[in-house]
Structure 1
């Protein structure tokens, strides 16, 4: 089973979340992260797997996974 997005989906994500976009976390189902709702980040890019690479204001570099994590553009 292929869980990777299509090339078209990755292109769409790169258009929607270009580097420099500010995002805010709504929720994340990760028991190990210290990120909490309301934390903000600057998008660094989107990788080939469709993960949104983030530089969080708190210093974390955890990526967002569209369709799994909930977040919005600030």
Structure 2
């Protein structure tokens, strides 16, 4: 699907570089699994969101064709903080095990 320049500019404002999105469903010959998240790298002149997925793939997401939702930045930050806490706990636990051995 190709959009007019006005629609493309709206998409670029709504999904600037670094925006996190999550795929709900994708109708493609080799689709990204539902629930997979990615980071928008850029929006091209046709309105396709070019993304780098957390699973290492890169693929264009097409608004109004693919189903996806924007991930709230606060949610992303909370998830990252939770990961950091878990990693810190894992490191501390590992260090305690090394000390006790």
Tell me the residue number matched to 1:59. 56
Q: Aligned ranges for residues 8-23 of structure 1 at < 5 Å? A: 8-23=6-21
Q: Larger RCO: Structure 1 or Structure 2 (Cα < 8 Å, ≥ 6 residues apart)?
A: 1
Deviation at 1:14, TM superposition (A): 0.1
TM-score (norm 2): 0.67
In structure 2, the residue matched to 1:42 is 39
Write out the 4+ residue segments of structure 1 that deviate beyond 4 Å after TM superposition: none
Whichever structure has more helix as a proportion of its residues is 2
The alignment's TM-score, normalised by the length of structure 1, stands at 0.91
**What 5-or-longer segments of structure 1 have no aligned partner?**
none
Q: Alignment length, in residue pairs?
A: 71
Q: Larger radius of gyration, structure 1 or 2? A: 2
